[in-house]
Amino acid sequence: MVHLSERELELPDAVIAKLIKMAVEDKSIISLGPGEPDMNTFKPIIKYTKRFAKKCNHYSPPGGRLELKEGIIKKLKKDNKINAGVENIIVTSGSQEALLLAAACSCDVSEEIIVPSPSYMGYISAIELLNINPVLLELKRSNKFEVNPDELKKIIDKKRTKAIILNSPANPTGSIIRRNILEEIADIAVDNDVYIFSDEAYEKITYNKKFVSIGSLNGMHNHVVTLHSFSKTYAMCGYRLGYAVGPRKLIDAMTMSHVYSTIAAPTISQLVGAKALEIKQKYIDKMVETYRKRRDLIVRRLNEMDMDTIMPDGAFYAFSGIRNFDKKSSRFAANLLKNAKVAVVPGVEFGRYGEGNIRCSYATDIKLIEEAMYRIEKLLKHSKST
Ligand SMILES: Cc1ncc(COP(=O)(O)O)c(C=O)c1O
């Protein structure tokens, strides 16, 4: 008899996985689904991967390799204004694993973590896997999908809330949390003695607004776990490399638990990651400029079609309101897939407050974006006239 746990049975079928499968199988579909860069990783990174290929048959320490941690310390100081020592860092198999470890080591069963919604679909399910309760904080279009500190205060439970997840720049909305708002959130976290898990996976993919790490604010070193990733900045998703920076006690606990999850992040990825931190800024600038051109195009076209789309300040997603066409985002996305052959992600995938929207990724070639917009426009015009 094959038995599956209740926990597993309750996990949502990730629509995104189905979309990717369909888009791979049916070549006529243009996919605006992916949450990963379409570009290859930068040339020097490929060079280092080849160079280190013969040196990586051994495990690395569970907390991460020293040469990488030393690179991370320098990077955090320079880019994020965060002062950390090796004891404050754990290197993980992607930042998703860092989040899972941080949640597992800071919360007991039935305690609560506040999760903004709409937000990255990895949060709610990861938290529920640990039998921790996600409590959703609604992010509103009228507030440009930024966290509202007053609303955050209202849903904190003095006894049960142990952490608040923040994501800036955000997936799927592209919103960046301003410094003054971060300061208010920081005060709330300190007053209520809760952690902030600050997911900064898209820190380098920003367009106009200044990005600030909440971990750099005065007095926050004991309250913030900053989660960073190599996946987006260096287009290194497949290397599965990320890290967390936080209070020593929690990082120690996460390092102990790491031995029982993946033991250590892949050695080759860590060796390459240490070098990636040193690559010239021009590679990242060029990538961001490519995203910026696509962003400008896709946002203009979606708004022209009457899908309310705020110009994203970061990441590579356009998050569009579809209420002028349909109340249900999964039905709307299925219609686009079937009749326009364009794959998008229904907003409801990003938590219940994502309903009424779709996410279009612009980590896709600009010519394909143009064609996808043309197909969607044609379908919507046709539906209106019939
Ligand atoms: C906001 C956000 N955080 C974390 C992740 C996962 O990143 P990693 O590849 O480092 O596990 C993603 C992936 O799409 C994401 O969008």
pLDDT at 223: 97
To the nearest whole percent, how much of the chain has pLDDT over 70? 97
Q: Once rounded to an integer, what is the mean pLDDT over residues 79-99? A: 98
Residue 309 — φ and ψ, nearest 5°?
A: -135, 115
- Residue range 354-364, pLDDT digits in tens: 999 999 999 99
pLDDT of residue 20: 66
Above 80 in pLDDT, residue 193? yes
The residue that leads in pLDDT, 136 or 8, is 136
Ligand 1 pocket check for 116: Cβ under 6 Å: no
Q: Kindly report, as residue ranges, where domains of CATH 3.90.1150.10 are found in the chain.
A: 6-41+281-385
**Cα of 251 from ligand 1 centre, angstroms:** 20
Q: 139 and 161 in contact (C-beta within 8 Å)?
A: no
Q: How far is the CA of 111 from the centre of ligand 1 (A)?
A: 24
Q: Which atom of ligand 1 is nearest to the CA of 167?
A: 1
DSSP states along 234-253? TS-GGG--EEEE--HHHHHH
**DSSP bridge partners of 314:** 206
Q: What residues have CB less than 8 Å from 16, skipping those under 6 apart?
A: 33, 35, 121, 345, 349
Q: Which of 231, 319, 362 to mutate to test the pocket of ligand 1 (most atoms within 8 A of CB)?
A: 231
What's the CA-to-centroid distance between 356 and ligand 1, angstroms? 23
Per-residue pLDDT, 220 = 96
Ligand 1 lined by 206 (C-beta under 6 Å): no
29-36 average pLDDT score: 91
Judge if the beta carbon of residue 119 lies within 6 A of ligand 1: no
- For the entire predicted model, the pTM comes to 0.96
Q: Whose CA is nearest to atom 15 of ligand 1?
A: 120
Mutate which of 93, 125, 171 for ligand 1 pocket (most atoms within 8 A of beta carbon): 171
Q: Is 198 a pocket residue for ligand 1 (Cβ < 6 Å)?
A: no
Residue 19: is its pLDDT beyond 70? no
Q: Is the CB of 174 under 6 A from ligand 1?
A: no
Q: Tens of pLDDT along 317-366?
A: 999 999 999 999 999 999 999 999 999 999 999 999 999 999 999 999 99
Span 100-127, average pLDDT: 96
pLDDT at position 226 is: 98
Mean pLDDT of all residues in 11-19 = 66
The string of pLDDT tens digits covering residues 236-257 is 999 999 999 999 999 999 999 9
Ligand 1 lined by 35 (C-beta under 6 Å) = yes
Does the beta carbon of 290 sit less than 6 angstroms from any atom of ligand 1?
A: no
User: What kind of architecture, by CATH, is found in domain 55-276?
Assistant: 3-Layer(aba) Sandwich (3.40)
Of 75, 100, 14, nearest to 284 by C-alpha is 75
**Predicted local confidence at residue 237, as pLDDT:** 96
pLDDT of residue 15: 64
What's the CATH code, domain 6-41+281-385? 3.90.1150.10
pLDDT digits (tens, 9 = 90+) for 364-386: 999 999 999 999 999 999 887 76
Q: Which residue has the CA at smallest separation from atom 14 of ligand 1?
A: 35
Closest CA to 340 of 305, 311, 296: 305
What are the residue ranges of CATH 3.40.640.10 in the chain? 55-276
Q: Return the pLDDT at 13.
A: 62
- Mean pLDDT, the chain, integer: 95
Which tens digit of pLDDT belongs to each residue from 260-313? 999 999 999 999 999 999 999 999 999 999 999 999 999 999 999 999 999 999
Query: Which of 6-10, 137-141, 200-204, 340-344 is the least confident region?
Result: 6-10
Ligand 1 proximity of 242 Cβ (cutoff 6 Å):
yes
Confidence of residue 22 (pLDDT cuts 50, 70, 90): confident
Per-residue DSSP letter, 336? I
CA of 66 to the centre of ligand 1 (A): 24
Cβ neighbours for 217, distance < 8 A, ≥ 6 positions apart: 182, 183, 186
pLDDT confidence bin for 7, thresholds 50/70/90: confident
Phi, psi dihedral angles at 187 (to 5 degrees) = -60, -40
